Structure formats: C-alpha cells, structure tokens
Structure 1
C-alpha cells in the first residue's frame, strides 16, 4: 500500500510540473530570433505584463536592434508576428538592452503572442548564433491581477511560469 501511495504522489507531482500557466520559448533564427508566449490555462484572462530579462543568461545575451551598437553584424528591431491585437503597447527596445516588457490585455488558453528580435551573445563566444544553453538563466516574469510569478529559461530555451494559486 505504501508503494502505491508513493507512486501516485510521484504521478501527481509529474502532472503538476507538466502544466504551466504561460510558456515562453526562444527560437534561434537568422537574422530574426523569435520569442513565443503561450498560455496553457484560463488564469491569464485579465491585463498582464510579460517581462523577459536576459541578465543572468549563460551567454550574456543582449538585444541587437540597430546596425550601430552593442550587437554583432546582423541586427533586427522588435517586430510583433502573432497576437498583435492582445498587446496594449509595443515595448521600446534600445540596442544593447537586456530586458523588455509586453503589456497584454489577456492571454487566454491556447493563445500565442510572438515577436522577432535579434539576440546576440555578448560574452564573445558565438555572438550572432544563440543556443538554448546560452539563454539558460534568463528570466521571465508575469504580472497580473492575481499576482506576480516568474521562471528561468532552461537549456531547452523554455521558461514555464506556473501560478500555483490557479486551479483551472
């Protein structure tokens, strides 16, 4: 009986790890890198702010938005590619910045907000090509009426933000 309880506890723990209220993915591309923000729950239905902070990333990453600045070779400014109607205000991203925030009206289940932007490695290792391992350590924060939750990008270039107070 004890083994069954332990097994069911493990399965419950795995199920809760698999669910996230928001998932942010970084997808390396040339010349445009892509960030995708998606919702896996019904808990992000009010105004919210999604912030991405590259400080602490393994590659010392920066946003490269102009030809003259901190980035290397190729550059690309911030450009929305999905979910534009959900964005209240486009962020101002200056060349060499390490953080940006998106103010969204909502992020309902299965909705996706995506944007492109060039991200460079400022540590001098690979510079214009950023791997998932290089974004590891960067942070995502979601502020909503329910509170503030954050997560760290892992080596697969994903950050899963879970609001444990959400029961949906």
Structure 2
C-alpha cells in the first residue's frame, strides 16, 4: 500500500488537493445574551461576490425560530435584527416576524474577505432549553448563498454542523497545480 501511495505522489507531483475553489461562504452562529450572533464571511476565490444569503432554520434539529418581539412565538427575552459588524454592505433584508425561521439578506457589496455580522434572538421549539440555542439545536439549519462574478452566477448551500458552522464549500474541492 505504501508503494502504491508513493507512486501516486510521483505521478502527480504538481497536483494537490486544495480548499474549496470558486464561490464559498462560511456562516457561524454564537449563542449569547441578550442577543445571539451570526457572522457571515465570504471566503471565495477572488472575483466571487455574495449577492444574497438565505438562512433557513426550519430544518434545524431544535426547530429554531427567530424571537424578535416581546409577544409571539418566542419565549422570555427577545432581540430584533441588528447589524453588528463587518465590511460587507447590506442592501435589503426580508422582514422577520416573531416565530419566523427564514431570513433573507441581499448585499450591494460582499467581496472575498468581507464579513457581515448581525445579532438577533433565537429560541428552539423542539423542547430542549428553549431560550438557549445549543450547537446541536441549530445543526441541520440551511444557508443558501447566491454568488456573482465575471464568470457568471452560482448558488451554493451548506448546513450548520454540531459546531454551529455552515460552510457552502465544505463538500466542494478542486485540484490545483
């Protein structure tokens, strides 16, 4: 087996498996009080800009919802959507009402290396600890991203894992020489 692997490395000396190529966004979720935080980072190759990000928490294990008002489907503490940090420029976003599980953000500028952070409160509806969303409760929530470049457009999606990270390039990969 070692001989086979050594021969493969000799045959392909200039080729190595690299990180995801092309368009890629990494979304992270952090539980906090009084607000939870999402950070979106465009980790794409040069030229790929993010135009739209859709966060769908409906398929999450905890059936997580947005808790943005004092009254409604959410429990106890609430926090509306607020821009927090980053270099990306948001152009528009969908309205979020208490109990929604879908949020869409549109950007006028979100180049490779840019990030965008926002705060909002989340609650689970699956009977875990409703006011504290743990990493396994947000797992399986979906992030769908639209990208554009001079080469065209692309749509990628990723799912939050048990570390509260969704990576639209996790299963992508390419060979570079």
TM-score after normalising by structure 1: 0.85
2:69 and 2:163 map into 1 onto residues whose CA distance is 27
Q: What corresponds to 1:24 in structure 2?
A: 27
Unaligned runs of 5+ in 2: none
TM-score after normalising by structure 2: 0.81
1:85 and 1:110 map into 2 onto residues whose CA distance is 9
2:88 and 2:16 map into 1 onto residues whose CA distance is 36
Q: What corresponds to 2:117 in structure 1?
A: 114
2:174 and 2:111 map into 1 onto residues whose CA distance is 13
Q: 1:167 to 1:148 in 2, by over 3 A?
A: farther
Are 2:144 and 1:150 aligned?
no
Q: What corresponds to 1:3 in structure 2?
A: 5
User: Contact 1:119–1:130 at 8 Å: present in 2 too?
Assistant: yes
Query: Which sits farther off after the overlay, 35-44 or 132-141?
Result: 35-44
The structure richer in helix per residue is: 1
Give how far 1:92 is off: 1.1
Q: What corresponds to 2:65 in structure 1?
A: 62
Secondary structure of residue in 1 paired with 2:131: coil
The structure richer in strand per residue is: 2
User: Contact 1:44–1:144 at 8 Å: present in 2 too?
Assistant: yes
Secondary structure of residue in 1 paired with 2:71: coil
Give how far 1:109 is off: 2.2
Unaligned runs of 5+ in 1: none
Query: Which sits farther off after the overlay, 124-133 or 143-152?
Result: 143-152
Q: What corresponds to 2:168 in structure 1?
A: 161
1:154 and 1:56 map into 2 onto residues whose CA distance is 12
2:175 and 2:94 map into 1 onto residues whose CA distance is 31
After TM superposition, list the pairs within 5 Å mapping 1:12-161 onto structure 2: 12-13=16-17, 15-16=18-19, 21-41=24-44, 42-45=46-49, 48-83=51-86, 86-145=89-148, 146-161=153-168
RMSD between aligned residues: 3.1
Alignment: residue pair count: 165
User: Contact 1:58–1:133 at 8 Å: present in 2 too?
Assistant: yes
Give how far 1:125 is off: 1.3
